[in-house]
Amino acid sequence: MEDITTTKEIKWSVRPAKMHPKKAVFALLVDLGFGALIASNSLILGICMTAVLIGTQATFLFTSKFTISEAGVKAKYPARTKYYTWEQIRRAKFFKEACYLFTRKKPSNLDGWSGIAVFYGEDRDKIVAAIKSRLSSEVAS
């Protein structure tokens, strides 16, 4: 196995719905149920609202791709791409299935807009070690 600190770039993709199929089925049933209720009044509005509901859960239902390099971390979600250099990251929170990297040192209501969610997938230990080795010592946990 390669040493994490010498690896130039780590790439992987994650689809949380594949790892949690029961949750995915439940989410789709709820979305389609609400869409059907709305479609009983207006078919076009029902289709549009179903698409919006599925879109709000896109990071869970569809594949996201991640890249960790010497320059920073990049997350390519289904509808957007986020990239932060290691110097931009001021705070990190590590959880069981994902970590969140923020550009603000103190917690804020803007964390959803100023942060990046990195899902581990199957290589949790390798990814956590790679992120922690590249974070500045000034990064708050």
Domains and CATH numbers, the chain: 4-14+64-134 (2.30.29), 18-58 (no CATH)
pLDDT digits (tens, 9 = 90+) for 27-48: 999 999 999 999 899 999 999 9
Residue 108: CB atoms within 10 Å:
14
Q: Is the pLDDT of residue 79 over 70?
A: yes
Nearest Cα to Cα of residue 93 among 141, 133, 129? 141
For the entire predicted model, the pTM comes to: 0.83
Q: Is 88 exposed, middle or buried (0-12, 13-18, 19+ CB in 10 A)?
A: middle
- Reading the block at residue 74, the tokens are 């990049």
Q: 29 in helix, strand or coil? A: helix
